[in-house]
């Protein structure tokens, strides 16, 4: 597996070793994955919060397609793009009485922030300023299809 976060990769490799799993995790920027990984993977799993770090999904899925074996499968576990229209707790626009009120455009693309990843640490903290990107469903699907990845199904869950 690949992740840019070295601490996450180290943890994953420790767990794989502990559980005697025949897998390896590599710390790398996905855009820097070289041809040694061409046609290597039967399954590509993209976990929640990964797509928002990439400004260009066409470029992202080009690398994914290169790494997949013919007939490979992609599983994407990601929050629905519509959730990016909602204000979250702590934001000025957030109203606990109207949590599902839309405040942002579905097509808003670039966000900057400096709030740490609460969902990992369970603590609020100030981080270095970062940019993340929202992507519409059409951008995600088109990014795959435009790089030869055949979409045969899509399921959404609540």
**Domain containing residue 83:** 42-145
Domain assignment of residue 151, yes or no: no
Domains contained in the chain, number: 2
pLDDT for residue 127: 67
pLDDT tens readout for residues 19-54: 999 988 999 999 999 999 999 999 999 988 899 999
46 plus 28 within the same structural domain: no
- CA 158/CA 94 separation, integer angstroms: 21
pTM over 0.85: no
């Amino acid at each position: 597996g690949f992740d840019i976060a070295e601490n996450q990769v180290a943890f994953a490799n420790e767990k794989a070793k502990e559980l005697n799993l025949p897998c390896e995790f590599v710390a790398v920027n996905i855009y820097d994955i070289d041809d040694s990984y061409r046609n290597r993977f039967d399954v590509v799993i993209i976990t929640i919060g990964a797509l928002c770090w990439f400004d260009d999904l066409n470029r992202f899925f080009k690398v994914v397609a290169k790494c997949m074996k013919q007939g490979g499968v992609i599983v994407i576990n990601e929050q629905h793009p519509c959730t990016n229209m909602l204000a979250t707790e702590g934001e000025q626009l957030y109203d606990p009485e109207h949590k599902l009120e839309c405040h942002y455009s579905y097509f808003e693309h670039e966000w900057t922030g400096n709030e740490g990843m609460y969902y990992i640490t369970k603590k609020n903290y100030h981080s270095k300023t970062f940019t993340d990107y929202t992507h519409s469903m059409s951008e995600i699907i088109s990014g795959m299809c435009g790089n030869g990845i055949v979409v045969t199904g899509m399921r959404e869950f609540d």
